[in-house]
Structure 1
Amino acid sequence: MPSGVAVGWPVKREFFDLVCDGMPTTEASLAVGVSRRTGWFWWRQAGGMKLRKGGDGLGGLADAGDLERPGGRGRRLSFAERFEIDRGLQAGRSYAEIGRELGRDRSVIAREVKRNCLPDGRYHALMAHAAASQKARRPKTFKLDNPVLCALIAGWMDEGWSPKLISQVLAEVYAGDKLMQVSHETIYQCLYVQTRGQLRADLHKCLSTKRQARSPRGHRGRTGVYDPDTIFTISDRPAEANDRAVPGHWEGDLILGARHGSAIGTLVERSTRFVILLHLPVDHTAQSVAAAMIEAMGELPAHLRRSITWDRGSEMASWKHIQMQLNSPVFFCDPHSPWQRGTNENTNRLLRFWFEKGSDLSVHTRDDLNIVAAKLNNRPRPTLDLDTPAQRMAALLSQAA
């Protein structure tokens, strides 16, 4: 075929089919009527995937991927699925139509075509399958061999920071230095594969609450004894508290120790995520909790104690006394619905880094609680654009002054 004559997709497709079936590129070029140079140019333009070599004339892809591996929901695309995508595109069907036939979301089909199509936008099932296989197996450089970066990560994890928060802070602080940025997934990989990177082997212990298994939702919680006709429920809470537009709305609960024999009270302001810890060294009866709460929140200006939301535990039996002393209405969640105090639940999960489940919480002094609260209040929060709760609360207090 003369070099000046335009070659259409059917000819190129036939060439790719022959090479993928095992024919050397030289023979495949002659079979479709183009020069050897043209055929090799097409192959390089398509990605230049490695071909088999041998004196017996054997050709074809060196690694075409596993053609028998099953696909389906929750799995990578199989060759059979890529073949159906190829047929569907040739028939002019949309990504949504092809996805419905395969039981896949249309976004899966769109990403597959975008990632593994040829440079001219055409899609070839076997070449796409081989390309995906080679991309998955390519050697990847590992980023946690930098001692300075590892020291920063280890220091922040010792303070209870999550890998995701560390990743976000590094991206903010070292915005112009890609070598000092790392994804949270890379940190997790290094923590669980100790031969990769330079993080300490014991650093994975800083990740979570050391819970043996996830607690199932829907278990019976502490409801206390409340007359539904006399209390305010969370549905009565003003709308300004729900959208966090106005500061001064707090959520609270207890962190319980071993056999529920000891406890620490927690209060979190919804808009700033500022934390106050209540010292309960003797017991966590309603009288003790009320006294600790009134003492801690009584120092706040009136506009920063607009409401308090609590679970229906018996420790809040003195809620009327709290409400009167602080001039702040107390609202209660629905029974067995702790997620209605989501800000406080998330904060309690973070606090378990210092106050482990099953431990004796009465050994912690008031100074210990203040130190932990300061650490949490000085931690950057993605929900605050990486400001700290202490910064947001200081700004509110300065406005009041």
Structure 2
Amino acid sequence: MPSGYPHPQATRRELFDRVCQGAPLIRTAREMGVSTTSAWVWWRDAGAMKLLMGRGERGLADPGDLERPGGRGHRLCFDERVEIMRGLDSGLSQAEIARQLDRDNSVISREISRNRNPDGDYHARMAHARARKNAKRPKGFKLDDPQLCAQITTWMDDGWSPKLIAEMLARDHRDDRLAQVSHETIYKCLYVQGRGQLRADLHKQLSTKRSTRKSRTGSPRGPGTFTGAFTISQRPAEVDDRAVPGHWEGDLILGGGCASAIGTLVERSTRFTILLHLPEDHTAEAVATAMIEAMSELPAHLRRTITWDRGSEMARWQDIALQLQAPVYFCDPHSPWQRGSNENTNRLLRFWFEKGTDLSGYTKADLKRVQDKLNTRPRPTLDFDTPAQRLAALLDQAA
């Protein structure tokens, strides 16, 4: 090696830089006055990443995308890796480097741990290439884990959606990515045969009961009319922001041929659900009687308003409003989205009360069991509290 040549670490880094930029390893070593044996040993000790071999110019097979901008998501860009290398060379701590890059400490720690050379040196270009290689490497399918599959199966058998399951796993295992799984991965396992260890028939536990995904098309309904006293536009503004409890949305879940039904009421603030038992019919008289009986058990401050879809079952809305001292408001024609809390809840309830089935056979005890199941399920919209917990807190405050 010529006299006055830089320190061996600097020499190795220069050689690595040239090779990562496309220069042949052997020719570069000769130009730098480094023996070919030493060059191969250095490259091997640095991880022996794949080189392009053959005639003409050749170097590192895949140096990664050096132009991709940083600061987005969890992936670092090449410029950030250069700053990490310079920071380490200057003796900065990982925390100081993270502050300079406006990154979380864990991102910097993970980057150094995963992408430094096996000899311990962190080289920006080789780290960038190594990150690219690791990103392309096939990953093990998480739902091959029997314990994780058993937990997901238990929750789905209880009516939980893949989205809720994924969010609960992320909340309960914040520091263990291996114990987390996205809802898309669960759907992939349900809809792609032979993936993972979930039960083959588990897709039937989805609220849609579909074995394949269906595109959202559908067409809007035509206009209609309804003669009522109050419209949703007249409802108090406090109902919309959910800050004040006691505002309810309701509708019917209909059975096969619309011959049987179950009434549903959902409190907008807590998402607490009440199921109305309608064993014989769902006439206006039956619905009014069941609603007045169920809601009379609530304190006055928890029954401020009721919003319902336009239907003949609400013909006795004046009796309901008088008995409960809660005004009844009606949605615009064919606008069920205006009582979205109730619509979402009815979709969840279809896990137990499938479309096209006879609902008249369910007893009051059956409805209470389902009601309790739903009210004790964690809700992402409630920061994973349950509706029962939120309602109990309101009742405690009143007491």
Bucket of the pairwise TM-score, normalised by the shorter protein: 0.7 to 0.9
Deviations for 1:4-43, whole angstroms, at most 9, x for unmatched residues? 3999x99998754434xxxx32224556x57578988998
The total of aligned residue pairs comes to 351
Alignment of 1:24-63 (within 5 A): 24-28=24-28, 30=30, 35=34, 49-53=49-53, 59-62=58-61
CA contact (8 A) 1:117 1:128 kept: no
CA contact (8 A) 1:266 1:275 kept: yes
Shift of 1:327: 0.6
Distance 1:285 1:183 in 2: 44
* Deviation at residue 190 of structure 1 after TM alignment: 3.2
Change (3 A) 1:268 1:329: same
CA contact (8 A) 1:244 1:270 kept: yes
Output the CA distance in 2 between the equivalents of 1:222 and 1:280: 29
Provide closer, same or farther for how the CA distance between residues 133 and 310 of structure 1 changes in structure 2, counting only shifts above 3 A: same
> Residues 41-190 of structure 1 correspond to what in structure 2 (within 5 A)?
49-53=49-53, 59-62=58-61, 114-115=76-77, 119-120=81-82, 134-174=133-173, 180-190=179-189
Distance 1:236 1:268 in 2: 20
Task: Judge conservation of contact 1:162–1:207 (CA < 8 Å) in 2.
Answer: yes
Q: What CA distance in whole angstroms lies between the structure 2 residues aligned with 1:349 and 1:34? A: 73
Aligned to 1:98: none
| 1:71-105 deviation digits (Å, cap 9, x = unpaired) | xxxxxxxxxxx79x58xxxxxxxx7xxxxxxxxxx
Question: Deviation of residue 201 (structure 1)?
Answer: 1.9
The answer for the alignment partner of 2:207 in structure 1 is 208
Deviation, structure 1 residue 154: 1.0
Q: Which moved more, 1:173-182 or 1:266-275?
A: 173-182
In structure 1, C-alpha distance between the alignment counterparts of 2:183 and 2:379, rounded to whole Å: 15
Amino acid at match of 1:245: A
Residues 115/204 of structure 1: CA separation in 2 closer, same or farther (3 Å cut): farther
State whether residues 22 and 58 of structure 2, in contact with CA within 8 Å, keep that contact through their aligned partners in structure 1: no
In 1, the alpha carbon distance for the partners of 2:318 and 2:46 equals 75
Contact 2:169 2:179 (8 Å CA) reproduced: yes
The separation in 2 between residues aligned to 1:43 and 1:313, in whole angstroms, is 76
> How far, CA to CA, are the matches of 2:39 and 2:136 in structure 1?
27
Q: Name the residue aligned to 1:18.
A: 22
Change (3 A) 1:12 1:48: closer
* 1:339 corresponds to: 337
TM-score (norm 1): 0.72
**What does 1:364-379 correspond to in 2, within 5 Å?**
364-379=362-377
Aligned residue in 2 for 1:292: 290
Aligned to 1:226: 227
The amino acid that maps onto 1:120 is V
How far apart, CA to CA, are the structure 2 residues paired with 1:246 and 1:198? 45
CA distance in 2: counterparts of 1:278 and 1:367, whole angstroms:
11
Question: Per the alignment, in what secondary structure is the counterpart of residue 243 of structure 1?
Answer: coil
Is the contact between residue 249 and residue 269 of structure 1 (CA under 8 Å) also seen in structure 2?
yes
Distance 1:119 1:329 in 2: 63
Aligned residue for 1:18, secondary structure, equals coil
Distance verdict in 2 for CA 1:317–1:116, change over 3 Å = farther
**Deviation at 1:356?**
1.9
* Cα offset, 1:234, TM superposition: 2.1
Structure 2: gaps of 5 or more residues? 85-124
Answer yes or no: is the 8 Å Cα contact 1:209–1:356 preserved in 2.
Answer: no
Q: Which residue of 2 aligns with 1:308?
A: 306
Q: Distance in 1 between matches of 2:376 and 2:364?
A: 18
SS of corresponding position for 1:208: coil
C-alpha change, 1:25 and 1:348, in structure 2 (3 Å) is: same
Aligned partners of 1:252 and 1:267 also within 8 Å: yes
Which residue number corresponds to residue 355 of structure 2? 357
Shift of 1:386: 1.6
1:265 equivalent to 2:269? Answer: no
Give me the whole-angstrom Cα distance separating, in 2, the residues matched to 1:177 and 1:43.
Answer: 34
- Find the residue that maps to 2:301 and give its secondary structure: helix
> Could you tell me how far 1:64 is from its partner in structure 2?
8.0
Alpha-carbon distance between aligned partners in 2 of 1:45 and 1:289, rounded to the nearest angstrom: 78
- Note the C-alpha offset of 1:375: 0.7
Q: What is aligned with 1:92?
A: none
Q: Find the residue that maps to 2:143 and give its secondary structure.
A: coil
Q: Distance in 1 between matches of 2:137 and 2:48?
A: 15
Cα distance between partner residues in 2 of 1:62 and 1:15? 10
Across the aligned residues of Structure 1 and Structure 2, the Cα RMSD in angstroms comes to 4.1
**How much does 1:398 deviate?**
3.3
Q: 1:49 to 1:334 in 2, by over 3 A?
A: farther
**Are the equivalent residues in 2 in contact too, given 1:224–1:314 (CA < 8 A)?**
no
Pairing partner for 1:386 from 364, 370, 384: 384
* Structure 1 alignment gaps of length 5 or more: 66-81, 87-94, 96-106
**1:222/1:314 contact within 8 Å kept:** no
* Inter-CA distance 343–47: structure 2 relative to 1 (3 Å threshold): farther
- Post-superposition CA distance 1:96-123 (Å, at most 9, x none): xxxxxxxxxxx8x95698345683169x
